[in-house]
Amino acid sequence: MLVERVQPKAIIAGALYETDPVDCAPGTQAFLNSVFEIQTSCTPQELHAHLQAIEQAMGRPNDREKNSPRSLDLDLLYAGDFVSHDPVLIVPHPRLHLRRFVLQPLADIRPALTLPGHQLSIARYLAALQDDPTEVRLVTKDWMKNG
């Protein structure tokens, strides 16, 4: 399995949330969202390459229309104090602090986290959002423990 090559030392998962598709084709199913914090000896670039390989193995095409449905979308949101502005890998994720579907599960596991180059914690960014909090619906908190 591809993840085994990463050899995680620890994995922490946020709760699983459902969100309705935005700016997607009619009939697009709801999205499921969560976050994982993985401790590994990989570099951020190596981890990113592994995530892309997992997406491809799960059937995600390299070329697709913007906002089209996808089987899997794995983003590297942050990597400790690492910062990258490389077009292939931008870390911390440039829109992380604007997206409730990312902030909510991240706040489950790291509410006090302040990312490099940011002034607010994850919890404070989440509290500052002006969107409708009911658009991100809790599915289950312990989904990783259930199998």
Burial group, residue 7, by CB count within 10 angstroms (0-12, 13-18, 19+):
exposed
Show the tokens assigned to 5.
């090559």
- Tell me, yes or no, if the pTM score tops 0.75: yes
On whether residue 140 sits in a domain, the answer given is no
Residues in the chain: 147
CATH number at residue 44: 3.30.70.560
On whether residue 8 sits in a domain, the answer given is yes
Domains of the chain: total = 1
Q: How many CB atoms lie within 10 A of CB 146?
A: 7
Summarize pLDDT for 85-144 with one digit per residue, the tens: 999 999 999 999 999 999 999 999 999 999 999 999 999 999 999 999 999 999 998 877
Domain span at residue 71 reads 2-132
Q: Residue 2: in which H helix or E strand, if any?
A: helix 2-6
Q: Residue 30: in which H helix or E strand, if any?
A: none
Summarize pLDDT for 7-31 with one digit per residue, the tens: 766 788 999 999 988 778 888 889 9
Q: Residue 139: in which H helix or E strand, if any?
A: strand 136-140
On whether residue 143 sits in a domain, the answer given is no
Distance CA 143, CA 141 (A): 6
